[in-house]
Structure 1
Amino acid sequence: MQVEIIPCLQDNYSYLIIDENNNSACVVDPSESKPIIDFLKNKNINLKYILNTHHHHDHIGGNIDLKKEFGSIVVGFKEDSKRIPGIDVLLENNQIWEAENFVAKIIHIPGHTSGHICFHFFNEKLVFTGDTLFSLGCGRIFEGTYKEMFNSLDKIKSLPRDTKIYCGHEYTSNNLNFCLKHDPENFNLKRKKEIIKKQVMKGLPTVPSTIKDELECNIFLRANDLETFSKLRDLKDNF
Protein backbone atom coordinates (compact mmCIF):
# COMPACT_ATOMS: atom_id res chain seq x y z
CA MET A 1 0.00 0.00 0.00
CA GLN A 2 1.12 3.51 -0.82
CA VAL A 3 -0.03 6.60 1.10
CA GLU A 4 -0.35 9.93 -0.70
CA ILE A 5 -0.76 13.12 1.34
CA ILE A 6 -3.30 15.49 -0.22
CA PRO A 7 -3.26 19.04 1.22
CA CYS A 8 -6.77 20.48 1.46
CA LEU A 9 -8.36 23.74 2.57
CA GLN A 10 -6.01 25.87 4.69
CA ASP A 11 -4.15 23.29 6.77
CA ASN A 12 -6.01 19.97 6.43
CA TYR A 13 -4.57 16.74 5.15
CA SER A 14 -6.56 14.05 3.39
CA TYR A 15 -4.86 10.75 2.67
CA LEU A 16 -5.11 8.35 -0.22
CA ILE A 17 -4.28 4.75 0.61
CA ILE A 18 -3.52 3.22 -2.76
CA ASP A 19 -3.53 -0.49 -3.57
CA GLU A 20 -1.13 -0.45 -6.49
CA ASN A 21 -1.97 -4.04 -7.45
CA ASN A 22 -5.60 -3.16 -8.18
CA ASN A 23 -5.14 0.54 -8.97
CA SER A 24 -7.77 1.35 -6.36
CA ALA A 25 -7.79 3.55 -3.29
CA CYS A 26 -9.40 4.64 -0.05
CA VAL A 27 -9.42 8.28 1.00
CA VAL A 28 -9.30 9.26 4.66
CA ASP A 29 -11.16 12.44 5.66
CA PRO A 30 -11.73 14.19 2.33
CA SER A 31 -12.00 17.85 3.34
CA GLU A 32 -12.85 18.82 -0.22
CA SER A 33 -13.23 16.88 -3.43
CA LYS A 34 -11.30 18.75 -6.14
CA PRO A 35 -7.67 18.03 -5.17
CA ILE A 36 -8.55 14.40 -4.60
CA ILE A 37 -10.40 14.05 -7.91
CA ASP A 38 -7.53 15.77 -9.73
CA PHE A 39 -4.95 13.40 -8.27
CA LEU A 40 -6.99 10.26 -8.90
CA LYS A 41 -7.86 11.15 -12.49
CA ASN A 42 -4.28 12.09 -13.27
CA LYS A 43 -3.12 8.68 -12.03
CA ASN A 44 -6.18 6.79 -13.35
CA ILE A 45 -6.97 5.39 -9.90
CA ASN A 46 -10.47 4.34 -8.82
CA LEU A 47 -11.63 5.59 -5.41
CA LYS A 48 -13.42 2.64 -3.82
CA TYR A 49 -13.88 3.80 -0.21
CA ILE A 50 -14.22 7.03 1.78
CA LEU A 51 -13.14 6.64 5.41
CA ASN A 52 -14.24 9.29 7.91
CA THR A 53 -12.68 9.63 11.37
CA HIS A 54 -15.38 12.05 12.55
CA HIS A 55 -18.19 14.28 11.37
CA HIS A 56 -16.63 17.77 11.30
CA HIS A 57 -17.10 19.47 7.95
CA ASP A 58 -13.38 19.81 7.24
CA HIS A 59 -13.18 16.02 7.30
CA ILE A 60 -16.31 15.06 5.35
CA GLY A 61 -16.78 18.03 2.98
CA GLY A 62 -15.83 16.02 -0.10
CA ASN A 63 -17.91 12.91 0.65
CA ILE A 64 -20.88 13.51 -1.61
CA ASP A 65 -18.99 14.80 -4.66
CA LEU A 66 -16.50 11.93 -4.46
CA LYS A 67 -19.29 9.40 -4.04
CA LYS A 68 -21.01 10.81 -7.15
CA GLU A 69 -17.78 10.89 -9.17
CA PHE A 70 -16.49 7.41 -8.36
CA GLY A 71 -19.41 5.51 -6.83
CA SER A 72 -17.36 5.22 -3.65
CA ILE A 73 -18.61 3.59 -0.45
CA VAL A 74 -18.63 5.87 2.62
CA VAL A 75 -17.40 4.23 5.82
CA GLY A 76 -17.81 5.70 9.32
CA PHE A 77 -18.68 5.08 12.96
CA LYS A 78 -22.22 3.84 13.61
CA GLU A 79 -22.86 6.44 16.32
CA ASP A 80 -22.17 9.18 13.78
CA SER A 81 -24.45 7.70 11.13
CA LYS A 82 -26.71 10.78 11.15
CA ARG A 83 -23.79 13.20 10.96
CA ILE A 84 -21.66 11.71 8.17
CA PRO A 85 -23.09 12.48 4.72
CA GLY A 86 -23.56 9.57 2.35
CA ILE A 87 -22.58 6.92 4.91
CA ASP A 88 -23.01 3.33 3.73
CA VAL A 89 -21.02 1.16 6.14
CA LEU A 90 -21.50 1.56 9.90
CA LEU A 91 -18.45 0.59 11.94
CA GLU A 92 -18.18 -0.56 15.56
CA ASN A 93 -15.41 -0.16 18.11
CA ASN A 94 -12.67 -2.84 17.79
CA GLN A 95 -14.15 -4.10 14.54
CA ILE A 96 -11.77 -5.32 11.84
CA TRP A 97 -12.92 -3.65 8.63
CA GLU A 98 -11.98 -5.61 5.51
CA ALA A 99 -12.69 -4.63 1.92
CA GLU A 100 -10.70 -6.08 -0.96
CA ASN A 101 -7.06 -5.72 0.16
CA PHE A 102 -7.79 -2.97 2.69
CA VAL A 103 -7.79 -4.14 6.32
CA ALA A 104 -8.00 -1.86 9.37
CA LYS A 105 -8.95 -2.11 13.02
CA ILE A 106 -11.47 0.50 14.16
CA ILE A 107 -10.63 2.15 17.49
CA HIS A 108 -13.17 4.45 19.13
CA ILE A 109 -11.27 7.47 20.48
CA PRO A 110 -13.78 10.03 21.84
CA GLY A 111 -12.83 13.42 23.24
CA HIS A 112 -12.59 15.75 20.28
CA THR A 113 -16.01 14.46 19.25
CA SER A 114 -18.16 11.75 20.78
CA GLY A 115 -18.00 9.56 17.66
CA HIS A 116 -14.34 9.96 16.73
CA ILE A 117 -12.51 6.84 15.53
CA CYS A 118 -9.12 6.03 14.10
CA PHE A 119 -8.25 3.54 11.38
CA HIS A 120 -5.33 1.28 12.29
CA PHE A 121 -3.98 -0.46 9.19
CA PHE A 122 -2.02 -2.90 11.32
CA ASN A 123 -0.51 -4.93 8.48
CA GLU A 124 1.10 -1.79 7.07
CA LYS A 125 1.70 -0.23 10.53
CA LEU A 126 -0.26 2.93 9.73
CA VAL A 127 -2.82 4.78 11.86
CA PHE A 128 -5.05 7.64 10.75
CA THR A 129 -5.86 9.64 13.87
CA GLY A 130 -7.97 12.51 12.55
CA ASP A 131 -8.13 15.31 15.12
CA THR A 132 -7.36 13.22 18.22
CA LEU A 133 -3.58 12.88 18.00
CA PHE A 134 -1.47 15.35 16.05
CA SER A 135 2.26 15.46 15.55
CA LEU A 136 3.40 16.89 18.92
CA GLY A 137 -0.17 17.70 19.96
CA CYS A 138 -3.71 16.52 20.50
CA GLY A 139 -7.13 17.79 19.51
CA ARG A 140 -9.33 20.25 21.34
CA ILE A 141 -12.01 18.73 23.51
CA PHE A 142 -15.38 19.69 22.06
CA GLU A 143 -17.92 16.96 22.78
CA GLY A 144 -16.04 14.77 25.22
CA THR A 145 -14.24 15.06 28.53
CA TYR A 146 -10.61 15.38 29.54
CA LYS A 147 -10.76 11.80 30.81
CA GLU A 148 -12.12 10.51 27.49
CA MET A 149 -9.37 12.25 25.55
CA PHE A 150 -6.68 11.06 27.97
CA ASN A 151 -7.95 7.47 27.65
CA SER A 152 -8.20 7.77 23.87
CA LEU A 153 -4.58 8.86 23.65
CA ASP A 154 -3.66 5.91 25.86
CA LYS A 155 -5.21 3.59 23.28
CA ILE A 156 -3.08 5.10 20.53
CA LYS A 157 0.05 5.02 22.74
CA SER A 158 -0.31 1.25 23.01
CA LEU A 159 0.19 0.70 19.26
CA PRO A 160 3.56 -0.60 18.04
CA ARG A 161 6.24 2.07 18.31
CA ASP A 162 7.09 1.97 14.60
CA THR A 163 3.50 2.70 13.57
CA LYS A 164 3.29 5.75 11.31
CA ILE A 165 0.80 8.43 12.39
CA TYR A 166 -1.18 10.36 9.78
CA CYS A 167 -3.15 13.17 11.43
CA GLY A 168 -5.79 15.60 10.21
CA HIS A 169 -3.91 18.92 10.18
CA GLU A 170 -0.53 20.56 9.69
CA TYR A 171 -0.23 21.94 13.21
CA THR A 172 3.25 20.67 13.98
CA SER A 173 5.19 23.95 14.19
CA ASN A 174 2.76 25.49 16.68
CA ASN A 175 2.64 22.26 18.66
CA LEU A 176 6.44 22.16 18.70
CA ASN A 177 6.64 25.62 20.24
CA PHE A 178 4.18 24.61 22.97
CA CYS A 179 6.09 21.42 23.76
CA LEU A 180 9.40 23.30 23.92
CA LYS A 181 7.94 25.87 26.29
CA HIS A 182 6.81 23.23 28.79
CA ASP A 183 9.49 20.56 28.18
CA PRO A 184 12.59 22.62 27.27
CA GLU A 185 15.23 20.07 28.34
CA ASN A 186 13.84 17.22 26.24
CA PHE A 187 16.77 16.11 24.05
CA ASN A 188 14.55 14.13 21.66
CA LEU A 189 12.30 17.15 21.21
CA LYS A 190 15.27 19.37 20.36
CA ARG A 191 16.38 16.84 17.76
CA LYS A 192 12.84 16.67 16.37
CA LYS A 193 12.85 20.48 16.10
CA GLU A 194 15.73 20.38 13.62
CA ILE A 195 13.98 17.75 11.48
CA ILE A 196 10.74 19.75 11.43
CA LYS A 197 12.60 22.96 10.60
CA LYS A 198 14.16 21.34 7.52
CA GLN A 199 10.82 19.96 6.34
CA VAL A 200 9.10 23.32 6.72
CA MET A 201 11.90 25.13 4.86
CA LYS A 202 11.47 22.71 1.95
CA GLY A 203 7.69 23.17 1.97
CA LEU A 204 7.14 19.52 2.87
CA PRO A 205 4.54 18.03 5.23
CA THR A 206 5.77 17.31 8.74
CA VAL A 207 3.75 14.08 8.76
CA PRO A 208 3.82 11.18 9.18
CA SER A 209 5.18 10.96 12.67
CA THR A 210 5.59 7.69 14.57
CA ILE A 211 4.36 6.37 17.90
CA LYS A 212 7.99 6.29 19.06
CA ASP A 213 8.52 9.98 18.20
CA GLU A 214 5.31 11.02 19.90
CA LEU A 215 6.07 9.05 23.07
CA GLU A 216 9.45 10.76 23.23
CA CYS A 217 8.42 14.28 22.21
CA ASN A 218 4.68 14.93 22.52
CA ILE A 219 4.02 16.52 25.90
CA PHE A 220 0.41 15.30 25.91
CA LEU A 221 1.50 11.69 25.57
CA ARG A 222 4.19 12.23 28.19
CA ALA A 223 1.63 13.38 30.77
CA ASN A 224 1.44 10.59 33.32
CA ASP A 225 -1.90 11.45 34.90
CA LEU A 226 -5.23 13.02 34.05
CA GLU A 227 -4.63 16.16 36.13
CA THR A 228 -1.39 17.01 34.34
CA PHE A 229 -2.94 16.30 30.96
CA SER A 230 -5.97 18.49 31.71
CA LYS A 231 -3.79 21.43 32.75
CA LEU A 232 -1.72 21.12 29.59
CA ARG A 233 -4.83 20.95 27.43
CA ASP A 234 -6.16 24.16 29.04
CA LEU A 235 -2.84 25.90 28.49
CA LYS A 236 -2.75 24.84 24.85
CA ASP A 237 -6.25 26.20 24.25
CA ASN A 238 -4.90 29.67 25.02
CA PHE A 239 -1.44 29.29 23.51
Structure 2
Amino acid sequence: MRLRPLPAFEDNYVWALTDDAGAGLVVDPGDATPVLRAMGEGLRLRGILLTHHHNDHIGGVPAILAELPDLPVIGPRDERVTTATGIVGAGDVARIDDWVFEVHEIPGHTVSHIAFHGHQVLFCGDTLFSLGCGRLFEGTPMQMLDSLDRLAALPGGTRVCCGHEYTVANASFALAVEPSNADLQARSVEARRQRMEGRATVPSTIDEERACNPFLRVDVPEVRGAVARHVGRPLQDRVDAFAELRRWKDGYRA
Protein backbone atom coordinates (compact mmCIF):
# COMPACT_ATOMS: atom_id res chain seq x y z
CA MET A 1 0.00 0.00 0.00
CA ARG A 2 1.24 3.45 -0.92
CA LEU A 3 -0.13 6.64 0.64
CA ARG A 4 0.72 9.94 -1.03
CA PRO A 5 -0.31 13.55 -0.44
CA LEU A 6 -0.67 15.26 -3.84
CA PRO A 7 -0.17 19.03 -3.38
CA ALA A 8 -2.91 21.26 -4.78
CA PHE A 9 -3.57 25.01 -4.74
CA GLU A 10 -1.56 26.87 -2.09
CA ASP A 11 -1.72 24.39 0.78
CA ASN A 12 -4.28 21.65 0.00
CA TYR A 13 -3.55 17.95 -0.25
CA VAL A 14 -5.40 15.44 -2.41
CA TRP A 15 -4.67 12.04 -0.90
CA ALA A 16 -3.90 9.04 -3.11
CA LEU A 17 -3.98 5.51 -1.71
CA THR A 18 -2.79 2.81 -4.09
CA ASP A 19 -1.78 -0.84 -4.15
CA ASP A 20 1.53 -2.15 -5.46
CA ALA A 21 0.14 -2.29 -9.00
CA GLY A 22 -0.86 1.38 -8.95
CA ALA A 23 -4.63 0.88 -8.59
CA GLY A 24 -6.37 2.93 -5.96
CA LEU A 25 -8.41 5.93 -4.96
CA VAL A 26 -8.10 9.64 -4.28
CA VAL A 27 -9.63 11.71 -1.50
CA ASP A 28 -10.96 15.28 -1.79
CA PRO A 29 -9.72 16.26 -5.27
CA GLY A 30 -10.49 19.97 -5.16
CA ASP A 31 -8.10 20.34 -8.06
CA ALA A 32 -8.07 17.76 -10.86
CA THR A 33 -4.58 18.68 -12.08
CA PRO A 34 -2.46 16.63 -9.63
CA VAL A 35 -4.81 13.66 -10.01
CA LEU A 36 -4.68 13.73 -13.81
CA ARG A 37 -0.90 14.07 -13.60
CA ALA A 38 -0.71 11.04 -11.31
CA MET A 39 -2.92 9.10 -13.71
CA GLY A 40 -0.49 9.96 -16.49
CA GLU A 41 2.31 8.59 -14.30
CA GLY A 42 0.58 5.26 -13.69
CA LEU A 43 -2.25 5.79 -11.18
CA ARG A 44 -5.13 3.45 -12.13
CA LEU A 45 -7.93 5.36 -10.49
CA ARG A 46 -10.79 3.22 -9.15
CA GLY A 47 -12.79 5.75 -7.15
CA ILE A 48 -13.05 9.01 -5.24
CA LEU A 49 -13.88 9.70 -1.58
CA LEU A 50 -15.23 13.11 -0.51
CA THR A 51 -15.31 14.36 3.09
CA HIS A 52 -17.28 17.59 2.73
CA HIS A 53 -18.76 20.05 0.26
CA HIS A 54 -16.19 22.86 0.16
CA ASN A 55 -15.02 23.53 -3.38
CA ASP A 56 -11.33 23.13 -2.59
CA HIS A 57 -12.19 19.51 -1.77
CA ILE A 58 -14.68 18.64 -4.54
CA GLY A 59 -14.05 21.13 -7.35
CA GLY A 60 -11.85 18.83 -9.42
CA VAL A 61 -14.30 15.95 -9.58
CA PRO A 62 -16.06 16.96 -12.83
CA ALA A 63 -12.77 17.13 -14.74
CA ILE A 64 -11.78 13.69 -13.46
CA LEU A 65 -15.18 12.26 -14.38
CA ALA A 66 -14.76 13.69 -17.88
CA GLU A 67 -11.86 11.24 -18.24
CA LEU A 68 -13.47 8.37 -16.28
CA PRO A 69 -17.26 8.88 -16.43
CA ASP A 70 -18.14 5.60 -14.65
CA LEU A 71 -15.88 6.25 -11.67
CA PRO A 72 -17.62 5.79 -8.29
CA VAL A 73 -17.66 8.92 -6.13
CA ILE A 74 -18.59 8.38 -2.46
CA GLY A 75 -19.50 11.36 -0.31
CA PRO A 76 -21.67 12.72 2.51
CA ARG A 77 -25.42 13.24 2.49
CA ASP A 78 -25.42 16.85 1.34
CA GLU A 79 -27.19 18.34 -1.69
CA ARG A 80 -24.17 20.57 -2.24
CA VAL A 81 -22.11 17.49 -3.19
CA THR A 82 -23.68 17.02 -6.59
CA THR A 83 -21.11 14.63 -8.09
CA ALA A 84 -21.49 11.82 -5.54
CA THR A 85 -22.75 8.53 -6.94
CA GLY A 86 -22.83 6.91 -3.50
CA ILE A 87 -24.01 8.56 -0.28
CA VAL A 88 -22.76 7.37 3.12
CA GLY A 89 -23.22 8.31 6.75
CA ALA A 90 -22.43 7.15 10.27
CA GLY A 91 -22.06 3.39 10.56
CA ASP A 92 -21.89 2.83 6.82
CA VAL A 93 -19.04 1.15 4.99
CA ALA A 94 -17.46 2.71 1.90
CA ARG A 95 -16.02 0.21 -0.59
CA ILE A 96 -13.88 0.82 -3.63
CA ASP A 97 -12.53 -2.47 -5.02
CA ASP A 98 -10.67 -4.05 -2.08
CA TRP A 99 -10.47 -0.81 -0.10
CA VAL A 100 -12.97 -0.78 2.78
CA PHE A 101 -13.55 2.16 5.14
CA GLU A 102 -15.75 2.78 8.15
CA VAL A 103 -17.62 6.06 7.81
CA HIS A 104 -17.81 8.52 10.71
CA GLU A 105 -20.01 11.60 10.79
CA ILE A 106 -17.89 14.42 12.23
CA PRO A 107 -19.86 17.69 12.10
CA GLY A 108 -18.30 20.96 13.17
CA HIS A 109 -16.38 22.40 10.24
CA THR A 110 -19.51 21.69 8.19
CA VAL A 111 -22.71 20.04 9.36
CA SER A 112 -22.37 17.09 6.96
CA HIS A 113 -18.63 16.44 7.23
CA ILE A 114 -17.61 12.76 7.26
CA ALA A 115 -14.36 10.84 7.70
CA PHE A 116 -13.18 7.52 6.30
CA HIS A 117 -11.21 5.11 8.51
CA GLY A 118 -9.64 1.90 7.29
CA HIS A 119 -6.32 0.22 6.47
CA GLN A 120 -4.79 2.09 9.46
CA VAL A 121 -5.54 5.39 7.71
CA LEU A 122 -7.94 8.22 8.58
CA PHE A 123 -9.09 10.64 5.89
CA CYS A 124 -10.50 13.47 7.99
CA GLY A 125 -10.71 16.42 5.59
CA ASP A 126 -10.80 19.71 7.50
CA THR A 127 -11.95 18.44 10.91
CA LEU A 128 -8.69 17.24 12.49
CA PHE A 129 -5.46 18.84 11.32
CA SER A 130 -1.90 18.13 12.30
CA LEU A 131 -1.69 20.09 15.59
CA GLY A 132 -5.02 21.78 14.95
CA CYS A 133 -8.66 21.51 13.92
CA GLY A 134 -10.91 23.16 11.37
CA ARG A 135 -12.83 26.38 11.79
CA LEU A 136 -16.46 26.09 12.83
CA PHE A 137 -18.19 27.36 9.71
CA GLU A 138 -21.48 25.53 10.24
CA GLY A 139 -21.38 23.40 13.38
CA THR A 140 -21.23 24.18 17.09
CA PRO A 141 -18.31 23.85 19.54
CA MET A 142 -20.10 20.90 21.18
CA GLN A 143 -20.43 19.13 17.82
CA MET A 144 -16.80 19.72 16.91
CA LEU A 145 -15.49 18.61 20.27
CA ASP A 146 -17.57 15.44 20.07
CA SER A 147 -16.22 14.79 16.57
CA LEU A 148 -12.63 15.28 17.72
CA ASP A 149 -13.20 13.06 20.77
CA ARG A 150 -14.36 10.24 18.50
CA LEU A 151 -11.40 10.62 16.16
CA ALA A 152 -9.00 10.73 19.12
CA ALA A 153 -10.42 7.38 20.29
CA LEU A 154 -9.23 5.61 17.12
CA PRO A 155 -6.17 3.33 17.38
CA GLY A 156 -3.03 5.30 18.15
CA GLY A 157 -1.10 4.14 15.09
CA THR A 158 -3.77 5.39 12.68
CA ARG A 159 -2.27 7.76 10.12
CA VAL A 160 -4.05 11.11 10.08
CA CYS A 161 -4.50 12.37 6.51
CA CYS A 162 -5.87 15.90 6.70
CA GLY A 163 -6.72 18.30 3.91
CA HIS A 164 -4.14 21.06 4.35
CA GLU A 165 -0.48 21.72 5.11
CA TYR A 166 -0.93 23.77 8.29
CA THR A 167 1.46 22.08 10.73
CA VAL A 168 4.06 24.81 11.13
CA ALA A 169 1.48 27.54 11.73
CA ASN A 170 -0.52 25.27 14.03
CA ALA A 171 2.63 24.46 16.01
CA SER A 172 3.17 28.15 16.72
CA PHE A 173 -0.28 28.44 18.28
CA ALA A 174 0.00 25.12 20.11
CA LEU A 175 3.25 26.28 21.74
CA ALA A 176 1.57 29.50 22.84
CA VAL A 177 -1.02 27.34 24.62
CA GLU A 178 1.24 24.61 26.03
CA PRO A 179 4.87 25.81 25.86
CA SER A 180 6.27 23.17 28.24
CA ASN A 181 5.06 20.19 26.16
CA ALA A 182 8.29 18.44 25.14
CA ASP A 183 6.59 16.29 22.51
CA LEU A 184 5.12 19.40 20.93
CA GLN A 185 8.47 21.18 20.98
CA ALA A 186 10.08 18.28 19.12
CA ARG A 187 7.19 18.07 16.66
CA SER A 188 7.49 21.78 15.85
CA VAL A 189 11.21 21.46 15.12
CA GLU A 190 10.62 18.41 12.93
CA ALA A 191 7.82 20.12 10.98
CA ARG A 192 9.99 23.11 10.19
CA ARG A 193 12.77 20.82 9.00
CA GLN A 194 10.37 18.87 6.79
CA ARG A 195 9.08 22.03 5.15
CA MET A 196 12.59 23.40 4.61
CA GLU A 197 13.37 20.15 2.82
CA GLY A 198 10.25 20.49 0.68
CA ARG A 199 8.46 17.55 2.32
CA ALA A 200 4.95 17.19 3.68
CA THR A 201 4.51 17.21 7.45
CA VAL A 202 1.61 14.76 7.19
CA PRO A 203 0.40 12.16 7.79
CA SER A 204 0.80 12.33 11.53
CA THR A 205 -0.68 9.68 13.81
CA ILE A 206 -3.48 9.69 16.34
CA ASP A 207 -0.92 9.07 19.09
CA GLU A 208 1.06 12.15 17.99
CA GLU A 209 -2.07 14.27 17.93
CA ARG A 210 -3.12 13.11 21.39
CA ALA A 211 0.31 14.09 22.69
CA CYS A 212 0.63 17.46 20.93
CA ASN A 213 -2.63 18.84 19.53
CA PRO A 214 -4.21 21.33 21.96
CA PHE A 215 -7.69 20.71 20.54
CA LEU A 216 -7.44 17.09 21.67
CA ARG A 217 -6.05 18.18 25.04
CA VAL A 218 -8.75 20.45 26.48
CA ASP A 219 -8.82 18.29 29.62
CA VAL A 220 -5.10 18.81 30.29
CA PRO A 221 -4.62 21.28 33.18
CA GLU A 222 -1.94 23.33 31.41
CA VAL A 223 -4.17 23.78 28.36
CA ARG A 224 -7.22 24.63 30.48
CA GLY A 225 -5.18 27.09 32.51
CA ALA A 226 -3.81 28.84 29.44
CA VAL A 227 -7.30 29.25 27.97
CA ALA A 228 -8.70 30.57 31.25
CA ARG A 229 -5.88 33.12 31.53
CA HIS A 230 -6.43 34.17 27.92
CA VAL A 231 -10.16 34.84 28.42
CA GLY A 232 -9.70 36.19 31.95
CA ARG A 233 -12.36 34.08 33.61
CA PRO A 234 -12.96 30.56 34.94
CA LEU A 235 -14.07 28.06 32.33
CA GLN A 236 -17.47 26.45 32.79
CA ASP A 237 -16.70 23.03 31.32
CA ARG A 238 -14.72 21.29 28.58
CA VAL A 239 -17.04 22.59 25.82
CA ASP A 240 -16.44 26.14 27.03
CA ALA A 241 -12.71 25.43 27.10
CA PHE A 242 -12.79 24.12 23.56
CA ALA A 243 -14.92 27.00 22.27
CA GLU A 244 -12.59 29.62 23.75
CA LEU A 245 -9.52 27.74 22.51
CA ARG A 246 -10.92 27.73 18.97
CA ARG A 247 -11.85 31.42 19.27
CA TRP A 248 -8.30 32.17 20.45
CA LYS A 249 -6.90 30.34 17.42
CA ASP A 250 -9.22 32.23 15.07
CA GLY A 251 -7.62 35.51 16.11
CA TYR A 252 -4.08 34.26 16.67
CA ARG A 253 -1.18 35.84 14.82
CA ALA A 254 2.31 34.45 15.32
Sort the TM-score into its range (normalised by shorter chain): over 0.9
1:150-171 per-residue CA deviation (whole Å, 9 max, x = no partner) reads: 0000010000001000000011
1:19-76 per-residue CA deviation (whole Å, 9 max, x = no partner) reads: 234x322110001101110111112x32121110000000001111111212321110
Kindly state the Cα deviation for residue 98 of structure 1 after the two structures are TM-superposed.
2.2
| Corresponding residue for residue 9 of structure 2 | 9
The 3-state SS of whatever aligns with 2:175 is helix
| Corresponding residue for residue 189 of structure 2 | 194
Q: 1:165 aligns with which of 156, 160, 163?
A: 160
Alignment pair present for 1:136 and 2:136: no
Contact 1:77 1:91 in 2 (8 A): yes
Aligned 1:12-91 pairs, distance under 5 A: 12-21=12-21, 23-43=22-42, 45-71=43-69, 72-78=71-77, 80=78, 82-91=79-88
> What CA distance in whole angstroms lies between the structure 2 residues aligned with 1:138 and 1:166?
12
> What CA distance in whole angstroms lies between the structure 2 residues aligned with 1:25 and 1:160?
23
| Corresponding residue for residue 245 of structure 2 | 232
> Per the alignment, do residues 99 and 35 of structure 1 end up closer, same or farther by CA in structure 2, a change over 3 Å counting?
closer
Contact 1:126 1:165 in 2 (8 A): yes
Contact 2:105 2:112 in 1 (8 A): yes
What TM-score do the two structures reach when normalised by structure 1? 0.95
The 3-state SS of whatever aligns with 1:175 is helix
Contact 2:93 2:100 in 1 (8 A): yes
| Corresponding residue for residue 148 of structure 2 | 153
> What CA distance in whole angstroms lies between the structure 1 residues aligned with 2:96 and 2:245?
39
> What CA distance in whole angstroms lies between the structure 2 residues aligned with 1:56 and 1:92?
17
The 3-state SS of whatever aligns with 2:193 is helix
- Paired residue type of 2:249: K
> What CA distance in whole angstroms lies between the structure 1 residues aligned with 2:60 and 2:192?
31
The runs of 5 or more residues in structure 2 that have no matched partner are 220-237
> What CA distance in whole angstroms lies between the structure 1 residues aligned with 2:20 and 2:57?
25
The alignment covers a number of residue pairs equal to: 233
Contact 2:91 2:104 in 1 (8 A): yes
4+ runs deviating over 4 angstroms: none
> What CA distance in whole angstroms lies between the structure 1 residues aligned with 2:66 and 2:162?
26
Alignment pair present for 1:217 and 2:226: no
> What CA distance in whole angstroms lies between the structure 1 residues aligned with 2:96 and 2:127?
25
| Corresponding residue for residue 99 of structure 2 | 102
Aligned 1:108-127 pairs, distance under 5 A: 108-121=105-118, 124-127=119-122
Structure 1 range deviating more: 140-149 or 190-199: 190-199
- Paired residue type of 1:130: G
> What CA distance in whole angstroms lies between the structure 2 residues aligned with 1:186 and 1:4?
29
> What CA distance in whole angstroms lies between the structure 1 residues aligned with 2:137 and 2:83?
24
Contact 1:48 1:70 in 2 (8 A): no
1:194-231 per-residue CA deviation (whole Å, 9 max, x = no partner) reads: 21121011011110000011000000100121111111
Taking every aligned residue pair, what percent have the same amino acid on both sides?
Answer: 40
> What CA distance in whole angstroms lies between the structure 1 residues aligned with 2:82 and 2:59?
9
Cα RMSD after superposing both structures: 1.0
- Paired residue type of 1:166: C
> What CA distance in whole angstroms lies between the structure 2 residues aligned with 1:219 and 1:126?
21
The 3-state SS of whatever aligns with 1:36 is helix
Q: Decide which structure has the larger Cα Rg and report it.
A: 2
Kindly state the Cα deviation for residue 118 of structure 1 after the two structures are TM-superposed.
0.5
The runs of 5 or more residues in structure 1 that have no matched partner are none
